[in-house]
Amino acid sequence: MKINRKQALRKMAMGTAGAWVLPQIAGEVKAGSSHVFDRNDPGLQEADMASLWRNSALIIVDMQNDFVRAGAPLEVPAARDTIRNQKELIGAFRKRNLPVVFTKFISHPHYYLLWNWSPQCKPPTKCCWKGHQRSYQDISGSRDCSEIIDELQPDKQDNIIEKFGYGAFHDTPLAKILQASGFSSVVITGTVTQICVEETAREAFHHGFRTTIVEDAVSSFAEDLHVATLKNFSMKFGWVAKSDMILSKLA
C-alpha cells in the first residue's frame, strides 16, 4: 500500500517510543498554539504525568541579567514574559520540597571558541562576566551581569550550577547531584529555547533523565527557532507541556 509523505512522517513519529509528538507532525506549528500530544508509550500515559512531575527537579536555565533585562547585551525580550509562569512553577516545586536548580552561564575572561558566536562575551562588553557590574533600562542601580534576575532570586536551599557552555550537564556536577537525591526526571524552563535550554534538555535525556520542557516558560529571540525546537524535542527526546498542566498535577 502506498502512503504519502505526510502519512510516512506521521507513521515514523508514532513509532517513537517514549516521546510526545505533534498530531500534524508534517505541518507547520503556529506560534502560540496549544500543543495536543499523542502518546505512544503504554507504560506512561498522560494520567501518569502527575507522578512523573511530582518526582522531578525543576531546572531554570540562565534567567540572568545579561539575557533578561531590558537593554542587556544578549537581551531576550520574550524572557520577561515567562517570569510569572516560572515563579508559579518555582513556588509549586518548593511547596512539594522538590529540588529547584538555577543555572548560570558564565563567560571565560579569556578567549574560547564560544566568543566566535557570542562576541558580546569578550571585552569591552564582557557579557556574563562574573562580578562585572552593569546598568539596565528596566531597573534602577547596577547589578552583577551574571546574576539571576531579582524576580527569581534563589533560596538558600536551591542549587546553583555555573557553566561555561550551553548545557548545564556538561562538565558540571548537576547529574550527580540529582542522581544522589534519587531523582530521574526533570522539568526545564528558562532561556534561550534553541540554545541553552535545548542543550540542557538533550543532555538530560542522554544522562537518562525523563525530561519535560515547559512551553510557556521558555523563550527565544527567534520565534521560528523556538517553535521548531519544541517540535523536534517532543519527537525524539522528551515531553513538552504548558505550565498550567504541570501546576495542576502538582496541586
Of residues 41 and 111, the one with the higher pLDDT is: 111
pLDDT in tens, 139-165: 999 999 999 999 999 999 999 999 999
The whole-number average pLDDT for the span 103-122 is 95
Segment 225-235, tens digit of pLDDT:
999 999 999 99
pLDDT at 131: 96
The residue ranking higher by pLDDT, 2 or 220, is 220
Is pLDDT larger for residue 7 or for residue 224? 224
- What's the pLDDT at 46? 63
Percent of the chain with pLDDT over 70: 81
Q: What is the pLDDT of residue 48?
A: 80
Task: Decide if pLDDT at 47 tops 70.
Answer: no
Least confident piece of the model among 36-40, 101-105, 181-185? 36-40
Which value, to the nearest 10 degrees, does the dihedral of the CA atoms of residues 32, 193, 229, 214 take?
-60
Q: SS3 for 95-140, per residue?
A: HCCCCEEEEEECCCCCCCHHHHCCHHHCCCCCCCCCCCEEECCCCC
Banded pLDDT at 124 (limits 50, 70, 90): very high
DSSP 8-state class, residue 55? T
CA dist 45 to 18, 38, 52, Å?
Answer: 10, 10, 10
Mean pLDDT over the full length of the chain: 86
Enter the pTM of the model. 0.84
Residue 185: CB partners within 8 Å, gap ≥ 6?
A: 52, 53, 55, 56, 57, 209, 210, 211, 212
In whole angstroms, how far apart are CA 43 and each of 160, 214, 236? Answer: 33, 22, 17
pLDDT in tens, 186-211: 999 999 999 999 999 999 999 999 99
Residue 28's pLDDT is what? 35
Is the backbone of residue 97 left (phi > 0), alpha (psi -120 to 50) or beta?
Answer: left
For residue 195, the 8-state DSSP code is: I
Average pLDDT over residues 94-109: 97
What is the distance between the alpha carbons of residues 9 and 248, in angstroms, rounded to a whole number? Answer: 32
User: Residue 186: what residue type?
Assistant: V
What burial class does residue 150 get, using C-beta atoms within 10 Å of its C-beta: 0-12 exposed, 13-18 middle, 19+ buried?
exposed
